[in-house]
Amino acid sequence: MKIKRFVAPDMRSALAQVRDEQGPDAVILSNRRVDGGIEVVAATDFDEALVRQASRAFAPPAAPPVERQAARPAERPSAPPATAPVQVPVAMPAATQAAAAGASASDAVIGELRRELVAMRAMFEREVARFSDERLRAAPGRAAALEDLDGCGCDAEVARGIVDKIPADADPRRARAFQLAILAKSLTTPVREPIADGGVIALVGPTGVGKTTTLAKLAARYAHTHGTRDVALVTTDAFRIGAREQLHTYGRLLGMPVAEASSEAEIAAALERLSDYRLVLVDTAGMSQRDRALAAQLSWLARDRRIRSYLVMPANAQPADLDDVVRRFAPASPAGVVLTKLDETSRLGAVLSVTIRHRLPIAYVTDGQRVPEDLYPAEPQRLALRVRELRRSALEETRHAAA
């Protein structure tokens, strides 16, 4: 493998040097900023021995020597079948051991190749992202929008997708207007408010995200229009201390019945008893997304077709944790998300990026503890404006702190 270092004023020039000198098959191994521009390390002429060895792993094994010898015509009359020496069983264990050893070695080689390919793919994706950033930052308006979205906590890939739709000739002020409009268009919301048509709605999510309080807000919101007689509450949380008591307290305050269930059979029986209520809200156990009991709960929620699940996610969580929550609760097939704790973050772009990447409709948002005042149906335009307002407030606080 031939490795060479290139230094150029920018990434575009560096990649051009690599292509001109090493050809289109060159692979970027690393890059970093140095005095005078960008340093790129590229390689060509990979050792193909590993590739050939991996290819042989998929070829059919050669016949053992004993079998080839048995296939030749006999040179003398064969003995009766009963007394003929049987040599194949003697040779088979050795052949089997050789084949197993070869397969093990081939598996190791293939595994090594896969790891190399994964590493090269990640490196390539980083280079493409850097090149895309440089292209977008070449236009002042786009550069300002990209910096703005980064400051709002937006995921880099989501931010690039938004900025790429901004006209290259837009000045910073127009670019920010485009940025808000494109961000709002990237967010999805349900066609109708989820509780408007009644039914059975379950809130799922990890511990501490505000499921029980959000459920009480939804119940009060529905009762304000339809009356308390049409709403019933169900709790399945038998794990957290005081969880059931909390929902019973809300039930007494709102004048709504509260049922308890801790298994699939019990929830089915509870829903049958409450079938006369127009809206039944189910508060599920607030387990960690890594809890083994979570899988069982999500499976029976998904099996009961009467239940529509909504994933509750806190806006103040880290992006990686939010992605993990979405993956862990995917078996419940959530129809959308409820974003809580909007009043506890200054970087709303992080949670919005997760909903954009996973294409999850945002049903409701909450920004306080008041029931039901601090819950609203999600509106893309208002969310986009809130992202901008939080960014502006953060910048002002930074300026005041520096003064």
Residue 291: predicted pLDDT: 62
Q: What is the pTM of this model?
A: 0.66
Residue 135: predicted pLDDT: 61
What value does the CA radius of gyration of the chain take, rounded to a whole number of Å?
Answer: 31
Residue 259: predicted pLDDT: 92
Angle between helices 172-186 and 156-163 (to 10 degrees): 120
Whole-number Å distance between alpha carbons of 59 and 187: 50
Output the CATH code of domain 192-402. 3.40.50.300
Residue with tokens 């293939």: 110
Counts of helices then strands in the chain (DSSP H, E): 14, 11
Residue 382: predicted pLDDT: 93
Three-state secondary-structure class, residue 402 = helix
User: Is residue 397 packed enough to be buried (19+ CB in 10 Å), middle (13-18) or exposed (0-12)?
Assistant: exposed
Judging by DSSP bridges, how do beta strands 336-340 and 258-260 pair with one another? unpaired
Per-residue exposure over 67-87, b if at least 16 CB sit within 10 Å of its own CB, e if not: eeeeeeeeeeeeeeeeeeeee
Q: Please check whether residue 359 is in contact with residue 158, taking contact to mean a CB–CB distance below 8 angstroms.
A: no
pLDDT digit string, tens, across residues 149-197: 888 889 888 988 898 888 888 888 888 889 899 999 999 999 999 999 8
| Token pair of 69 as six digits | 């010898």
Could you tell me which residues come within 8 angstroms of residue 365 by beta carbon, excluding any fewer than 6 positions away? 315, 338, 339, 340, 342, 375, 376, 378, 383
Averaged pLDDT of the chain: 79
Please give the full DSSP string across 319-346, using - where no structure is assigned: HHHHHHHHHHTGGG--SEEEEE-GGG-S
Residue 106: predicted pLDDT: 61
Please give the full DSSP string across 76-88, using - where no structure is assigned: SPPPPGGGS---H
Whole-number Å distance between alpha carbons of 110 and 333: 36
Residue 271: predicted pLDDT: 92
Whole-number Å distance between alpha carbons of 294 and 205: 10
pLDDT one digit per residue (tens) for the chain, 403 residues? 577 888 888 887 888 888 888 887 777 767 777 777 888 877 776 554 544 444 444 444 444 444 444 444 444 444 444 444 444 444 445 555 555 555 565 666 666 666 666 666 666 555 555 555 556 556 778 888 888 888 888 988 898 889 888 888 888 888 888 989 999 999 999 999 999 989 999 999 988 899 999 999 999 999 998 888 999 999 987 666 566 788 889 999 999 999 988 888 888 999 999 999 999 999 988 766 456 667 777 888 888 888 999 999 999 999 899 999 999 899 889 999 999 999 898 889 999 999 999 999 999 999 988 888 889 999 999 999 999 888 787 777 667 676 6
pLDDT digit string, tens, across residues 202-221: 999 988 899 999 999 999 99
Q: Please check whether residue 341 is in contact with residue 353, taking contact to mean a CB–CB distance below 8 angstroms.
A: no
Whole-number Å distance between alpha carbons of 74 and 40: 67
Q: Please check whether residue 281 is in contact with residue 218, taking contact to mean a CB–CB distance below 8 angstroms.
A: yes
Cis amide bond preceding 9, omega within 30: no
Measure Cα distances from 370 to 220, 295, 366, 373 in Å: 11, 32, 9, 6
Residue 312: predicted pLDDT: 96
Containing 107, the helix (H) or strand (E) segment is helix 88-137
Residue 117: predicted pLDDT: 67
Whole-number Å distance between alpha carbons of 267 and 296: 13
